[in-house]
Amino acid sequence: MAKGGLGRGLGVLLKDATAETGSNVDYREIPLNKINPNPNQPRIGFSEEHMQELENSIKKDGLLQPILVRPMGDGYEIIAGERRWQACKRLDTETIPAKILILNDVESQQIALVENLQRDNLNAIEEARGYRRLIDLSGCKQKDLAEALSKSTVFISNAMRLLDLPVEVQDMMIEGFLSAGHGRAILSLSDEEARIKLAKKIVEENLTVRETENIARLYSSQGLERTKRIPSPRSFGIAARKLRKLLQTGVRVKTVRGKNKIEIEFSDENDLERILAAIEDKEVAPPRLIDQQVSNVNWQ
């Protein structure tokens, strides 16, 4: 797909993802035991409360939307709708309505991301990672993605800024301890240690967003940030882009507390195995620029 635009993939696939909610969708009933989950599922977890609500809805009204699957081996792999599939399994139903699409790996990931991003119950970090993954997969720009998803460019940009937070702070947001508003306030600090320190203080003292903003200003004015961020070498960005393309996941090359690190994102154990297999299959040796400048690999 061409860089700088949505290309054939995302523009067409957006229509397919939207079609899932239509009332005149052709589908067939597929046995649950013939369906496997998507190892690249964008959503990190399903809350028990939401699962119970979905189960109750299915009991009362049935499954109103089919899931999306693609043929895989002698069965099918979920493209979108894993939560519905999990709920049906918990209800011991034998089959589930599904629309079957013929897609390659990249197209499947695109639809899974779009379908999840069009829903309202993603947490802020899952949403931000979804936007970044779509940009990486499609080679589009933020403004193109914003237009395709009916969002403003500023909205997409602000959402993705949360990925500049330390991974430890991102994890706090995923677990529900911090809101997106907290995250934006923490970003006003430039030092990573100060950001982590403030995040822990928010959780410990149950601070509001307004209180967090006031403390962030105090941190800055009193010089509590130990060091100002030093721009990373251009080679770090080049290395990160090459690794993202090779491993098909988020990768960051950065310096933390005087040590150079590579952070590689993975969603679960299956995704970790996929990444390791990609490295082993290609016999990937650290690129020369990484070998020279990055001394520590941090698997996230």
CB 143 within 8 A of CB 133: no
Antiparallel, parallel or unpaired: β 95-100 and 28-31: antiparallel
Structure tokens at 133: 């993954």
Distances in Å between the Cα of 292 and the Cα atoms of 229, 240, 280, 287 are 21, 15, 21, 9
Q: Which residues pair with 52 in a beta bridge?
A: none
Rounded to whole angstroms, how far apart are CA atoms 28 and 55? 21
- Sign of the Cα torsion 151, 153, 159, 160 reads positive
The first and second tokens of residue 71, run together, are 């043929």
CA dihedral 57, 63, 68, 69 (to 10 degrees): 110
Catalytic residue among 29, 48, 55, 82: 82
Q: Does the active-site annotation cover 82?
A: yes
What is the phi/psi pair of residue 248, to 5°? 55, 45
Nearest to 101 by CA among 171, 13, 196: 13
Q: In this structure, which long-range contacts are made by residues 278-284, counting pairs with CB atoms below 8 Å and at least 24 apart in sequence?
A: 278/246, 278/247, 278/248, 279/247, 282/246, 284/246
**Closest Cα partner for 106 from 139, 81, 153?**
139
Catalytic amino acids? Answer: 82
